[in-house]
Amino acid sequence: MRKSIAIVIPSYNEATNIDVLVNALNETVSNLSYDFKFVFVDDGSSDETIAILKEKAKLHDNIFYVELSRNFGHQNALKAGIDLVKNDADAIISMDGDMQHPPKIIPKLIQKWEEGYEVVYTIREEDKKLSYFKNKSSNMFYGLMNKLSDIKFEPGTADFRLIDKKVAQVFSDFSENELFIRGIINWVGFKQFAVNYEPNERFSGKSKYTFGKMMRFAIQGITSFSTKPLSMAIILGISLSVLAFIFYIGYVIYSIYYGHVISGWASVITTVVFFGGLNLVVLGIIGVYIGKLFMQSKGRPNYLISNTNYK
Residue from 7, 12, 37, 93 binding ligand UDP (CB under 6 A):
12
d(CA 143, CA 115): 31
Distance in Å, CB of 59 to ligand UDP, minimum: 22
Pick between residue 159 and residue 164 the one whose CB is nearest to Mg ion.
Answer: 159
Tell me the window of 149-157, 183-191, 206-214, 231-239 that interacts with ligand UDP (CB under 6 A). Answer: 206-214
Determine if 67 is a binding residue for Mg ion (CB under 5 A): no
199 binds ligand UDP (CB under 6 A): no
228 binds, among Mg ion, ligand UDP, none (CB under 5 to 8 A by kind): none
37 CB neighbour count, 10 Å cutoff: 19
Residue 136 CB, shortest distance to ligand UDP, in Å, is 14
What lies within 8 Å, CB to CB, of 241 at 6+ separation is none
Instruction: Give the one residue of 8, 56, 66, 74 binding ligand UDP; rule: CB under 6 A.
Output: 74
Site string for Mg ion, 197-236 (x = CB under 5 A): -----x----------------------------------
Least separation in angstroms between CB 12 and Mg ion: 10
Identify the residue among 100, 186, 223, 302 touching Mg ion (CB under 5 A).
100
**Residue from 5, 7, 8, 11 binding ligand UDP (CB under 6 A):** 11
Among 5, 6, 10, 181, binds ligand UDP (CB under 6 A): 10
Smaller CB separation from ligand UDP, 49 or 186? 49
Q: With CB cut-offs between 5 and 8 Å by kind, which of Mg ion, ligand UDP, none does residue 14 bind?
A: ligand UDP
Of 38, 73, 80, 112, which lies in the binding site for ligand UDP, with binding defined by CB under 6 A? Answer: 73
Provide CB contacts within 8 A for 219, sequence distance 6+: 288
Region from 10-18, 59-67, 120-128, 189-197 binding ligand UDP, contact rule CB under 6 A: 10-18
Q: Does 103 bind ligand UDP (CB under 6 A)?
A: no
DSSP string, the chain: ---EEEEEEEESS-HHHHHHHHHHHHHHHTTS-SEEEEEEEE-S-SSSHHHHHHHHHHH-TTEEEEEESS---HHHHHHHHHHHHTTT-SEEEE--TTS-S-GGGHHHHHHHHHTT-SEEEEEEPP-TTS-HHHHHHHHHHHHHHHHHSSS---TTEEEEEEEEHHHHHHHHT---SS--HHHHHHHH-SSEEEEEEPPPPPSSS--S--HHHHHHHHHHHHHHH--HHHHHHHHHHHHHHHHHHHHHHHHHHHHHHH------HHHHHHHHHHHHHHHHHHHHHHHHHHHHHHHHHHT--S--EEEE---
Rule CB under 6 A: is residue 175 a binding residue for ligand UDP?
A: no
Q: By CB under 6 A, name the binding residues for ligand UDP.
A: 10-12, 14, 43, 71, 73-74, 77, 96-98, 100, 202, 207-209
